[in-house]
Amino acid sequence: MQAQLFDLYRAGIRSATDMVKLSLEHTERLQQQQLQLIRNALDESTRSGSQAAEVKNFDDMVAFNSRLAGTQLERMAEFWANWWRAAGDAQKSMIEQVQSQMGQAKEQMREGYAYAVRASEDAARLAASQMPGVGQERERKEHRKSA
* Gyration radius of the chain over CA positions: 36
Residue 104: half-sphere exposure toward Cβ, Cα within 13 Å:
14
Say how far apart CA 89 and CA 18 lie, in whole Å.
16
146 vs 111 pLDDT, higher one: 111
Say how far apart CA 111 and CA 3 lie, in whole Å.
11
Q: Summarize pLDDT for 30-84 with one digit per residue, the tens.
A: 889 889 888 988 898 888 888 888 888 988 888 888 988 888 888 888 888 888 8
With 0.75 as the threshold, say if the pTM is over it: no
Q: Summarize pLDDT for 97-124 with one digit per residue, the tens.
A: 888 878 877 887 777 777 777 878 888 8
Find out whether 29 and 86 touch, Cβ atoms under 8 Å.
yes
**Kind plus residue range of the DSSP H or E element containing 91:** helix 58-146
Which pLDDT band, with edges at 50, 70 and 90, does 139 fall under?
A: low
Helix (H, G, I), strand (E, B) or coil at 1: coil
Is pLDDT at 135 greater than 60 in this prediction? no
